[in-house]
């Protein structure tokens, strides 16, 4: 089990992993299973990174893991344990509600073919070809084509279809029409394979089972420990500096934000000026706002779906989706069966994408007022789906990009790491500073929960290769 602080460390480790997000945790677990000695350091007191939760009154609020593709089952089974993967359950009530269409779907291939042909009038041949093309995309494919071009090719000028295809993916990985088509296609076809899934038992159980598994595999897990420097000596990464201590290791994996890793944790000169400049130019992805609502114990709400993609905007508009004047919200509704054996609780999390800049410059009074406005708007929006919701809610709380920054330390509170150009930096870091690796949300396709965990596995493999026999 994770221990707070740095007491009784070993003399040296094969690998130090900086950060306990899903990528860092999976990388650490994998390395330990390959027989390596691993120390994992997490700055927060809780593991999970953005895969996190918090308790208020009698409620547990899940910040993320509201829905992931079925591939997560395989990933958890292969790289964690059957005990963890067996708890994954499907969410069948996915709803869309916007001025262009209202529909309910299981969000899988079969149902989407039905919707796209019957409801939206596309030809079956076109739809099947679209599925085939997106399914065959790989992350090492051509990046020149954008999602917009992909959509235009298959469904020219059909902004209603574009919205259906794009909106959930924008929530899943922050990508937009102007990002590379492969960043859309890979994530979309991951979901389309069988639908949307989540972890029964909640994020708290999910992360605590991972913590136990790490312990069983011998990973030394420390929380509440902020790494301030990665030590590079003779061109190679040889450890980290954290909590006033120097910790020796034969390799270092950073699961921190890519820009923080290269620009803040490394001394100037540890990488080439060109590499540094390229890293500076990497754009971070957007952040999020969330409104958490807990239903009073004893009160019930009817089943209205598990995930509701709602919008009042006339058309899909990526810029508008980031605006502080929120028009698009995803409601994730947690019913009591999500935590079997627990008390009968309902919680609702409303998520919207957001820009850090919009929230950063506010005075304390303005910030408070803007949060109150967001809470009020969200309650009003929820009334449409749960009439009388306002009277049933006994806890309401707002998180903004500033909140995400405070807890994760991500640059600009980024919810989905960096844009596509980050992938090259992340992958080439070991060439600049041998022994130093990065795993984490990069390039959108390595984002989303499945991508983050899988990237951890890929990097563990590279580290193991580096460490040799």
Partner 1 sequence: MTADGIRQAILEIIQDILPDEDLDSLAPDKTFREQINLDSMDFLDIVMELRKRYSIEVPEKDYPNLATMDSSVGYLLPKMERL
Which residues form the interface with partner 1 (CB under 8 A)? 34, 71, 74-75, 78, 138-140, 186, 454, 457-458, 461, 464-465
Q: Tokens 């790989």 label which residue?
A: 138
| 60 vs 186 by CB, closer to partner 1 | 186
Q: Which two tokens stand for residue 460?
A: 């563990």
> Which is nearer to partner 1, 140 or 303 (by Cβ)?
140
Using the CB atoms, write b or e for 143-174: b if 16+ within 10 Å.
bebbbbebbeebbeebebbbbbbbbbbbbbbb
Q: What is the DSSP letter of 175?
A: -
Distance of alpha carbon 143 from alpha carbon 390, whole angstroms: 46
Compare residues 74 and 119 and give the one whose CB is closer to partner 1: 74
Smallest separation, CB 164 to partner 1 (Å): 24
In angstroms, give the least distance from the CB of 15 to partner 1: 16
Residue closer to partner 1 (CB basis): 34 or 304: 34
Work out how close the CB of 145 gets to partner 1 at its nearest, in angstroms, rounded to a whole number: 18
C-beta neighbour count of 104 within 10 angstroms:
15
Closest to partner 1 by CB, 75 vs 203, is 75
Burial of 378-407, coded b for 16+ CB within 10 Å and e otherwise, reads bbebbeebbeebeebbbebbbbbbbbbbeb
* Nearest distance, CB of residue 90 and partner 1, angstroms: 16
Nearer to partner 1, 34 or 362 (CB): 34
Which residue number, 205 or 458, has a Cβ lying nearer to partner 1? 458
The dihedral through the CA atoms of 11, 440, 66, 385 has a sign that is positive
Phi, psi torsion values for 457, nearest 5 degrees: -70, -45
Q: CB of residue 190 vs partner 1: minimum separation in angstroms?
A: 8
Q: At what angle do helices 124-135 and 181-194 cross, to 10 degrees?
A: 110
Q: Give, for 148, the enclosing helix (H) or strand (E).
A: helix 147-154
CB of 142 to partner 1, least distance (A): 14
Quote the least distance from Cβ 200 to partner 1, whole Å: 20
| Class of residue 113 by CB neighbours under 10 A (exposed 0-12, middle 13-18, buried 19+) | middle
């Amino acid at each position: 089990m994770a221990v707070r602080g740095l007491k009784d460390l070993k003399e040296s480790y094969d690998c130090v992993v900086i950060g306990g997000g899903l990528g860092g945790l999976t990388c650490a677990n994998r390395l330990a299973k390959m027989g390596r000695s691993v120390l994992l350091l997490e700055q927060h007191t809780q593991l999970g990174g953005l895969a996190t939760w918090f308790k208020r009154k009698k409620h547990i609020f899940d910040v993320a893991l509201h829905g992931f593709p079925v591939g997560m089952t395989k990933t958890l089974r292969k790289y964690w344990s059957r005990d963890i993967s067996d708890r994954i359950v499907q969410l069948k009530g996915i709803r869309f509600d916007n001025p262009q269409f209202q529909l309910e779907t299981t969000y899988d291939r079969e149902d989407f073919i039905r919707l796209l042909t019957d409801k939206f009038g596309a030809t079956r041949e076109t739809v099947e070809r679209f599925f085939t093309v997106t399914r065959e995309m790989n992350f090492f494919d051509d990046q020149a084509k954008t999602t917009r071009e992909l959509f235009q090719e298959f469904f020219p000028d059909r902004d209603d279809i574009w919205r259906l295809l794009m909106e959930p993916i924008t929530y899943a990985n922050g990508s937009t029409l102007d990002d590379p088509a492969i960043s859309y296609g890979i994530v979309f076809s991951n979901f389309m394979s069988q639908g949307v899934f989540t972890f029964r038992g909640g994020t708290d159980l999910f992360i605590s089972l991972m913590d136990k598994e790490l312990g069983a595999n011998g990973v030394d897990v420390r929380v509440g420990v902020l790494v301030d420097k990665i030590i590079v000596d003779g061109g190679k990464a040889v450890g980290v500096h954290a909590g006033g201590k120097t910790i020796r290791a034969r390799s270092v994996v950073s699961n921190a934000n890519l820009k923080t890793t290269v620009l803040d944790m490394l001394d100037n000169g540890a990488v080439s000026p060109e590499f540094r400049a390229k890293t500076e130019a990497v754009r971070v992805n957007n952040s999020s706002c969330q409104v958490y609502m807990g239903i009073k114990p004893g009160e019930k709400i009817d089943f209205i779906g598990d995930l509701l993609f709602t919008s009042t905007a006339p058309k899909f508009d990526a810029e508008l989706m980031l605006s502080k004047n929120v028009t698009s919200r995803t409601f994730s509704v947690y019913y009591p069966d999500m935590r079997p054996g627990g008390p009968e609780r309902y919680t609702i999390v409303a998520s919207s994408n957001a820009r850090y800049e919009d929230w950063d410059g506010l005075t304390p009074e303005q910030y408070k007022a803007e949060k109150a406005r967001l809470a009020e708007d969200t309650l009003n929006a929820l009334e449409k789906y749960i009439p009388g919701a306002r009277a049933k809610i006994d806890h309401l709380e707002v998180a903004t990009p500033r909140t995400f920054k405070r807890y994760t330390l991500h640059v600009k509170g980024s919810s989905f790491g960096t844009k596509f150009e980050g992938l090259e930096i992340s992958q080439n870091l070991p060439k600049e500073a041998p022994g130093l690796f990065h795993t984490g949300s990069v390039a959108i396709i390595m984002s989303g929960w499945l991508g983050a965990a899988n990237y951890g596995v890929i990097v563990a493999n590279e580290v193991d290769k580096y460490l040799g026999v």
